[in-house]
């Protein structure tokens, strides 16, 4: 009998149930604090289980608000946020809890295992980073800040979703569809009053299609402008978020939010991060300039931001004789998913078995994971774009592998969410290769959480993993989406069943690092902007001025003045990446290094892959990733492998 909770969310009674639950939790915690002799078993373990039960209850609401967004989910989620934030902030600042953890650490450090010690160490650090040791007035202000930040982040995200959904570009002239593949034309087509029209939106599959293939520069600019000027009201929210985060950092004794952020990451200090990023800029810039010059040669007009995707696609076809559209019939969504399962079975011995259960959407699905015939975890997929779903792709952990106070093993579960082209009764969901890479990426996150064998849930799966290391497993897995051996497992034409040819694979592999230095510079622009933005208090026009200054060094095509990228930078203003966007590149050093070790050993039957499963995936966050990486590779990470992966000459 498995112990997976049934996915359900009673929106009508959610706030009432949450309030009762939190009241009970507070009473349980007060009772625990009365214990005269506190131990890991009678205190810390029970605290862990209280937190876990609340997470299990709250996660379906946050998930629904992201994938099945409605006025009702918005209202309930908005009402719940300040309640849950106030509760968690008060706990994180409770001096009695802080002292209890320190006392248990002092008394039991020699008798506890490394998982339990890690739980204590991270909790003590978390209490200190929450201001548990500070005076009452300061703690009250920190509590107010946390509530406001959670509300502003939610508003930022909702504004972005609303703005994305509000825009439509209706085309009536077939001449304006020039350059677009037939599948994209069919996807945009609709009938109105007996007239055939074509609709393009700011949702990723639709937006990318026109920006990549649409020959009409005027429409490309119109779409680009609409996309880069979304949710202007977020400008004021950004100021409020930055001001609050700066104040919070100062109250906690840090010079900046960036410094505060690094206290729980692998990177040592702010100069360590900026030196790392700036070195990559230097290594990438000359190659990026050559790449952009090649694109520029395709047009007599000065290259504009809304031109790059279109002319880059033309150059890609010219250089590699590769047409992305010809690949999509080989990447039918269901086939790719099954093929990825086959690959994971061959690499790690993970078997996936479909589960019949009613979920939040008819296109969502679930699977049980078995390792060596043993039920290990459950995964939920929701892969297609729709209006009610937040853009992007992500993994969200649900249940976490651990043992409860009676020694019973609780299994893990997680969601993988993407925004792939929608399917219907006549048209399957055909993916771009970039979509395949995205699926592998999110699956890397998922198996990191799902395959954990750690017994303490606060450091199991992705819990307890440093933020600048959390992308390591996702990036590691996504790299295999370019490997010929792996592609042959699932790239089959959805109509004929024909396996993708060696010639097509060679073109795809050769084009992998097409404009890679330019892409590297763009990611570095985001990372440096984020980190510097949080390194001092920046407000109003200073935000745009900072971005413009960074772009002088990283943007090889002048960005239009109307481009307000920051108003849509959800990763740092509505996600967990504030002063941490650099983590993508930081973790990519680890992932590239481990990936090449597996590839050089032939992929399947690789000893490094087996060790990766045992050390990284099963190890969760019970040890620092810097420690786990050395355990895996028997050495420190080699940064040159990041440049090798991106085809950049150092």
SS (H, E, C) 96-107: HHHHHHHHHHHH
Strands 195-201 and 189-192: antiparallel
Residues facing 375 on adjacent strands? 370
Measured CA to CA, the distance from residue 457 to residue 622 in angstroms comes to: 9
Catalytic residue list contains 356:
no
Q: Which of 48, 184, 384, 442 is catalytic?
A: 442
Residues facing 628 on adjacent strands? none
SS (H, E, C) 152-210: HHHHHHHHHHHHHHHCEEEECCHHHHCCCCHHHHHHHEEEECCEEEEEEECCHHHHHHH
Q: Which tokens is 441 given?
A: 């990426």
Nearest Cα residue to 84 out of 119, 57, 116, 105: 57
Residues in the chain: 650
Measured CA to CA, the distance from residue 559 to residue 334 in angstroms comes to: 39
Cα dihedral sign for 100, 101, 102, 104?
positive
Measured CA to CA, the distance from residue 105 to residue 111 in angstroms comes to: 10
Nearest Cα residue to 155 out of 65, 90, 226: 65
Maximum Cα–Cα distance across the chain? 80
> Contact, 322 vs 333, CB < 8 A?
no
Q: What is the DSSP letter of 7?
A: P
Strand order in the sheet with 394-397: 350-355, 365-371, 374-384, 412-420, 394-397
* 506 to 438, 485, 488, 501, 503: CA distances (angstroms): 20, 12, 12, 9, 5
Nearest Cα residue to 589 out of 532, 533, 650, 525: 650
> Contact, 190 vs 199, CB < 8 A?
yes
| Active-site amino acid positions | 442
């Amino acid at each position: 009998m498995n112990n997976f909770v049934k996915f359900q969310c009673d929106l009508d009674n959610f706030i009432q149930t949450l309030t009762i639950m939190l009241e009970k939790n507070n009473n349980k915690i007060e009772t625990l604090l009365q214990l005269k002799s506190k131990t890991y078993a009678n205190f810390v373990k029970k605290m862990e289980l209280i937190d876990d039960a609340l997470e299990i209850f709250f996660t379906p609401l946050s998930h629904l608000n992201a994938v099945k967004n409605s006025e009702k989910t918005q209202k309930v989620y908005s009402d719940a946020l300040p309640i849950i934030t106030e509760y968690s902030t008060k706990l994180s600042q409770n001096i009695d809890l802080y002292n209890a953890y320190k006392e248990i650490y002092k008394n039991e450090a020699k008798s506890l295992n490394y998982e339990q010690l890690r739980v204590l160490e991270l909790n003590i650090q978390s209490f200190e980073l929450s201001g548990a040791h500070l005076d009452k007035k300061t703690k009250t202000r920190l509590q107010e800040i946390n509530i406001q930040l959670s509300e502003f982040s939610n508003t930022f995200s909702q504004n972005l979703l609303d703005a994305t959904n509000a825009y439509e570009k209706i085309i009536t002239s077939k001449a304006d569809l020039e350059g677009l593949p037939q599948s994209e034309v069919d996807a945009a087509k609709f009938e109105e009053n007996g007239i055939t029209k074509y609709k393009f939106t700011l949702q990723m599959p639709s937006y990318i299609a026109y920006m990549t293939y649409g020959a009409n520069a005027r429409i490309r600019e119109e779409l680009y402008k609409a996309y880069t000027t979304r949710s202007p009201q977020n400008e004021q929210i950004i100021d409020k978020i930055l001001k609050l985060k700066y104040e919070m950092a100062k109250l906690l004794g840090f010079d900046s939010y960036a410094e505060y952020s690094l206290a729980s990451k692998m990177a040592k200090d702010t100069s360590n991060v900026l030196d790392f990023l700036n070195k990559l800029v230097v290594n990438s810039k000359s190659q990026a300039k050559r790449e952009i010059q090649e694109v520029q040669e395709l047009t007599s007009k000065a290259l504009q931001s809304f031109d790059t995707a279109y002319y880059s696609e033309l150059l890609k076809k010219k250089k590699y004789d590769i047409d992305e559209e010809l690949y999509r019939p080989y990447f039918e969504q269901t086939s790719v998913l099954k093929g990825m399962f086959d690959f994971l079975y061959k690499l790690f011995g993970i078997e996936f078995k479909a589960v019949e259960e009613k979920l939040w959407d008819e296109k969502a699905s679930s699977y049980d994971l078995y390792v060596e015939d043993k039920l290990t975890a459950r995964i939920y997929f929701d892969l297609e774009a729709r209006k009610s779903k937040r853009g992007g792709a992500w993994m969200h952990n649900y249940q976490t592998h651990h043992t409860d106070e009676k020694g019973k093993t609780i299994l893990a579960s997680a969601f993988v969410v993407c925004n792939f082209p929608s399917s219907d009764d006549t048209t399957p969901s055909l993916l771009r290769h970039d979509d395949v890479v995205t699926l592998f990426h999110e699956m890397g996150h998922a198996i990191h959480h799902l395959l954990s064998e750690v017994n303490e849930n606060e450091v199991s799966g992705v819990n307890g993993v440093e933020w600048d290391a959390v992308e390591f497993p996702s990036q590691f897995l996504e790299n295999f989406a370019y490997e010929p051996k792996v592609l042959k497992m699932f790239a089959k034409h959805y109509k004929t069943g024909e396996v993708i040819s060696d010639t097509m694979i060679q073109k795809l592999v050769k084009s992998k690092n097409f404009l890679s230095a330019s892409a590297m510079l763009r990611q570095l622009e985001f990372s440096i902007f984020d980190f510097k933005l949080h390194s001092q208090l920046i407000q109003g026009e200073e935000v745009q001025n900072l971005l413009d200054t960074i772009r002088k060094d990283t943007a090889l095509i002048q960005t239009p003045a109307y481009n307000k990228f920051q108003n849509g930078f959800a990763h740092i203003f509505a996600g967990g990446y504030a002063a941490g966007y650099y983590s993508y590149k930081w973790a990519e050093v680890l992932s590239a290094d481990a990936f090449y070790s597996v590839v050089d050993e032939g992929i399947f039957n690789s000893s490094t892959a087996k060790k990766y499963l045992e050390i990284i995936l099963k190890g969760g966050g019970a040890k620092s990733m810097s420690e786990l990486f050395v355990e895996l590779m028997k050495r420190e990470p080699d940064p040159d492998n990041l440049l090798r992966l991106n085809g950049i000459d150092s």
